[in-house]
A and B are shown apart, each in its own frame.
Chain A
Amino acid sequence: MRKTALSHEILMTVDKPARYIGGEFNSVNKNREETDIRFCMCFPDVYEIGMSHLGIQILYAMFNSFEDTWCERVYSPWPDLDKIMRDKNIPLFALESQDPVKEFDFLGITLQYEMCYTNILQILELSQIPIFAKDRSDDDPLVIGGGPCSYNPEPIADFFDMFYIGEGEVSYRALLDLYKECKNNHYSREDFLFKASKIDGIYVPSLIGVEYNEDFTIKEFIPLKEGVNVKVKKEVETNLNDSYYPVKPIIPFIKATQDRITLEIMRGCPRGCRFCQAGQLYRPIRTRDVEVLKEFARQMIENSGYEEINLSSLSSSDYPELKELILYLIDYCNEKKVNISLPSLRIDAFSLDVMGKVQDIKKSSLTFAPEAGSQRMRNVINKGLTEEQILEGSRLAFLGGWNKVKLYFMLGLPFETDEDVVAIAELCEKVAKEYYETLPKEQRKQRVSITASTSFFIPKPFTPFQWASQFSLEDFRDKAYLTRTSIMNQLNQRSIKYNWHDTDVSVLEGVFARGDRRLSKVIYDAYKNGAIYDAWNDYFKYDIWLKSFEENNIDMKFYTVRKRDLDEIFPWDFIDIGVTKEYLKREWLKAAEGKTTENCMIKCNGCGANTYGAGKFCFKTKG
């Protein structure tokens, strides 16, 4: 019978013990004697969040398809268990075997958002693995990071032995083979890391040094060992049709945040919005064939028993065979009693027809993400959504029976003025007016309901806005206040609801997004002073962070509001994502002039990502 690392008494005391017992349907158990490599995959947040992540399921499926490897999972223990584990000195364990993580060969940590950084330290400490990579011995697992935040790994570089930059499907096999070879030949950790750094996509922080200028901007990256390359190139899966896909996903007992099948239809985005990091990181744009997707959908519905399926991509409307896929899914899912949760689609006759088929019009709402209120600002950010499109889409939807509209905006975009902020309120008002003009009184069953939500813009590495100054906390609050008062000044203000979230965390997120290695110590101190689960409002303690920055003599403004020179070397510049810095610079200068750039479906703008030899639109011959 399966064992549990935690005793009956502990499991009966903690909240949701199912987080810690493993044994879920489709989870993989192997005989540890018959495998050479034990890999523990970690999402540094609570189980329900971590289990919702597609990337881990992909890598889990891939690793476990290797006969010599057993991949297991671990998530952040909730604070109630955290305390018990510390009091009783219980080492953190993997879910499948319930064995201590410290006995594994690898601990892979996915970095999905900056605010999980203290949770990484919790994982390491509870696992009884030295927090700083330099303190680890040959017996400790190799700690490897991946995922979106690994594109600027510098703030957490000191905690990792290596990072995998890019899509995991490509180089892991080579890394594991090298590991086996080194293990058989009794190579040291250091030797292994040096050899590993030769594999594409592998970044070993201990082998690349950083020299700073007097003002703490970066002077240069220097190899710390002969033969080390100071450029790390992102890895890209060029063919999504025969890449690993978790057609037998692990089914959690407790409800995960994403309690549904995720069908990834493409990677990358042809649109080129200038604020969006994912849009650049995942270039070139690659699609999965529609027949492959149909087959995946069928298998996953059969193998999971989920009641809902969800399409995932950065911009589903741009998937070439979307219509065929959705019409097929509607039929198949209807037969199998599975709901389709639609991605946000461009609103037109087709999408409204589909929405009407799969959801209750009275309860559902239509969603637009103009991101900015004024056309001028939308040109700056290169968001190709016009006011006419929004109003026309709304009109069609109102005629079709919808009366709820959700609009998403960002505040604090570069070059934003008060007029641009006020324009958010005006756009909401225009949508409300459209309702009253479209529908005669007797057809209006309910009042129109408009929800405007704003988030604060945070400049991210590898975007044209990586040069932008982030607005200060005070500016953010003023902008949110201005948005609110402008909405209240509108004629239909009673139909418009405004949501915004608090700002402290945005400042910190901005610091880490464009941070450098000097921050590792700040993160460590904050963690030691009690910072944990920073992504959770109830746990986020800004004071601890302020104190930690102060004690380390580091000014957050250096990372956020500071103006950056066009030629500044950024902490992440040693990473090559295909998209060139030259291209990003061009885009930044165009943004300043309010000039737009056409999307990849219309015209290639020479971003550089076609060096991977793949890409739906990159090699299109001109018609």
Chain B
Amino acid sequence: MVLRFKFKKYGPIVYIGHLDIMRFFQKAIRRSGIDASYTEGFSPHLKLSFAQPLSVGVETDGDYFDLEMNSLPDMETLVSKMNEQCVEGIEILNVTLLDDDTGNGMSSVKASDYIYYFDDISNEKEKIEEFFSQDSYVFEYIRKDKLKTKDLMEDIYEMKILDNERIMVKVNASSAGNLKADVVTEALEKYGIKSKCNKFKRRDLYTTDDSGKFISLRDLGKVYD
């Protein structure tokens, strides 16, 4: 039995690194008293796995971890019970009792939605549309002192202008081809978008079904809010 928890992270908590967030949830789970499974041996560990780590400093409305259970707690109250063990800035949004045939959830992650917040893009919407509608855009950028070259359009799946300040972009988040969210802002700037991107946050993570359609990691079983 595996439970999938979806959580959001905001405020000062975004400065906590991925490993420490994992440690936080380990303790929160232990405190909550739910009947999770543990490994054998001298120092038993929870069977816990996390999705694609987010960079330090970035908010999220849609991150996940999977937890293997010994027996199920009362599912109706589980979300609020877990939130009693959380702090301001970390919140469990819902929990999914995964269908038995769901494979190892975290390696099946294919895509991530990000929302980018701009000052004002009302005059630049066309140019933004133009950028994202290209078939190919080879971009050179530097990360960790290394020059990287990537055709961004291979890893960008979808773009939607939400309003005068926000756009949503779906990018590759698979372990093989994860596109970091800040590369997109850098590319937009280089392309000539004048409005400044102030921040971005992850909205959700997706896998694909048999037909290749994106489905939220949340929707692979019965969801409890």
Interface residues of A, Cβ cutoff 8 Å to B: 1-4, 8, 11-12, 17-18, 21-25, 251, 253-255, 302-307, 336-337, 339, 358-360
> B33: which A residues are within 8 A, CB to CB?
302
| Pair B44/A359 contact, Cβ less than 8 Å | no
Picked from A1, A251, A304, A359, the residue with its CB within 8 Å of the CB of B11 is A1
Contact A12-B56, Cβ < 8 Å, known A4-B12, A18-B15, A251-B27: yes
A-B pairs, top 4 by smallest CB distance, nearest first, are: A305-B27, A305-B30, A17-B15, A21-B12
Could you say which interface size class chain B belongs to? Answer: 20 to 34
- Contact A11:B27 (CB < 8 A) given known A17-B56, A360-B42: no
Residues of B within 8 A of A358 (CB): 42
Which residues of chain A are near B16, meaning CB under 8 Å?
Answer: 18, 21, 253-254
Nearest to A9 among chain B residues (CB) is B57
Choose, from B84-92, B112-120, B136-144, B188-196, the stretch at the interface.
B84-92
Question: How many Å from the CB of B145 to the closest CB on chain A?
Answer: 17
Q: Is the CB of A306 within 8 A of B27?
A: yes
**CB neighbours of A21 from chain B (8 A):** 12-13, 15-16
- Identify B12's interface contact among A2, A303, A306, CB under 8 A: A2
Given contacts A305-B27, A305-B31, A337-B44, contact A12 B57 (CB under 8 A): yes
Q: Given contacts A1-B88, A12-B56, is CB(A253)–CB(B12) below 8 Å?
A: no
Residues of B within 8 A of A17 (CB): 15, 56
Cβ-closest chain B residue relative to A334: B44
B157 contacts A by Cβ under 8 Å:
no
Q: How far is the CB of A77 from chain B (nearest CB, A)?
A: 15
Residues of B within 8 A of A307 (CB): 26, 30, 43
Of B20, B27, B38, B43, which contacts A304 at CB under 8 A?
B27
Chain A residue nearest in CB terms to B198: A8
Instruction: Assess the B20–A8 pair: CB atoms within 8 A.
Output: no
Give the contacts of B1-31 with A (CB-CB under 8 A).
10-13, 15-17, 20-21, 23-24, 26-31
* A-chain residues with CB within 8 Å of residue B23 when the two chains form the complex: 253, 255
Are A305's CB and B26's CB within 8 A?
Answer: yes
Q: Are B17 and A2 in contact (CB under 8 A)?
A: no
| Minimum Cβ distance to chain A for residue B208 (Å) | 33
Point out the residue from A18, A254, A305 that lies within 8 Å of B28, measured CB to CB.
A305
* Set B20, B38, B86, B88: member contacting A254, Cβ < 8 A: B20
Q: Is the CB of B17 within 8 A of A18?
A: yes
Alpha-carbon distance between A337 and B29 when the two chains are bound, in angstroms: 12
Would B31 and A303 count as touching, CB distance under 8 A? yes
Q: Find out whether the CB atom of B88 lies under 8 angstroms from the CB atom of A2.
A: yes
Q: How far is the CA of A22 from the CA of B89 in the complex (A)?
A: 12
Q: Are A11 and B11 in contact (CB under 8 A)?
A: no
Q: Which residues of A contact B20 (CB under 8 A)?
A: 18, 253-255
Contact (Cβ within 8 A) A23 B31: no
A304 near B17 (CB under 8 angstroms)? no
A-B contact pairs, 17 of them (CB 8 A): A1-B10, A2-B11, A8-B57, A11-B57, A17-B15, A21-B12, A25-B24, A25-B27, A25-B86, A253-B23, A254-B20, A255-B20, A255-B23, A304-B31, A307-B26, A337-B44, A358-B42
CA distance A255 to B19 in the complex (A): 10
Given the complex, which residues of B lie within 8 Å of A302, measured CB to CB?
A: 31, 33
* Cα–Cα, bound, A18→B89 (Å): 13
In angstroms, Cα B140 to Cα A228, docked, is: 75
Decide if B15 touches A11 in the complex (CB within 8 Å): yes
Q: Which of B12, B27, B31, B43 has the most CB of A within 10 A?
A: B12
Set of chain A residues within 8 Å of B15, measured between Cβ atoms? 11-12, 17-18, 21
Residues of A within 8 A of B87 (CB): 23-25
Q: Which of B45-96 contact A (CB under 8 A)?
A: 56-57, 85-89
**Which chain B residue lies CB-closest to A1?**
B11
Q: Beyond the given A18-B20, A253-B23, A358-B42, could you list 14 further A-B residue pairs with CB under 8 A, ordered by the A residue number?
A: A1-B88, A2-B11, A2-B89, A17-B15, A17-B56, A18-B15, A21-B13, A23-B89, A25-B27, A253-B20, A303-B31, A305-B26, A337-B38, A339-B43
Instruction: Assess A23 versus B38: contact at CB under 8 Å? Given A1-B11, A17-B56.
Output: no
**A23 and B26 within 8 A (CB):** no
- B42's partner among A1, A303, A339 (CB-CB below 8 A) is A339
Q: B57 to A253, Cβ gap below 8 A?
A: no
CB-based contact B12/A23 at 8 Å:
yes
Residues of A near B86 (CB, < 8 A) are 25
Hey, which chain B residues are within 8 Å of A25, CB to CB? 24, 27-28, 85-87
User: In the bound complex, what is the Cα–Cα distance between A8 and B200 (angstroms)?
Assistant: 13
Which residues of A lie under 8 Å from residue B88 when comparing CB positions? 1-2, 23
Complex formed: what's the CA distance from A254 to B24 in Å?
A: 9
Shortest Cβ gap from B106 to chain A (Å): 22
- Shortest distance between the CB of B23 and any CB in chain A (Å): 7
Q: How far is B87's CA from A4's CA once the two chains are assembled, in angstroms?
A: 15
Q: In the docked arrangement, what's the CA distance between A304 and B20, Å?
A: 15
Query: How far, in angstroms, from A358 to B42 measured CA to CA in the complex?
Result: 7
Give min CB distance, B178 to chain A, whole Å: 20
Residues of B contacting A22 in the complex (Cβ-Cβ under 8 angstroms): 12
Chain B residues, CB < 8 A from A18: 15-17, 20
Residues of B contacting A360 with CB < 8 Å? 42
Closest to A364 in B: B42
Taking the closest CB of chain B, its distance from the CB of A439, in whole angstroms, is 24
Q: In angstroms, how far is the closest chain B Cβ from the Cβ of A462?
A: 39
What separation, in Å, do the CA atoms of A22 and B16 have in the docked complex? 11
A253: chain B residues at CB < 8 Å are 16, 20-21, 23-24
Contacts of A2 in B (CB 8 A): 11-12, 88-89
CB distance from A329 to the nearest CB of B (A): 15
Give Cα A305 to B85, complex, Å.
10
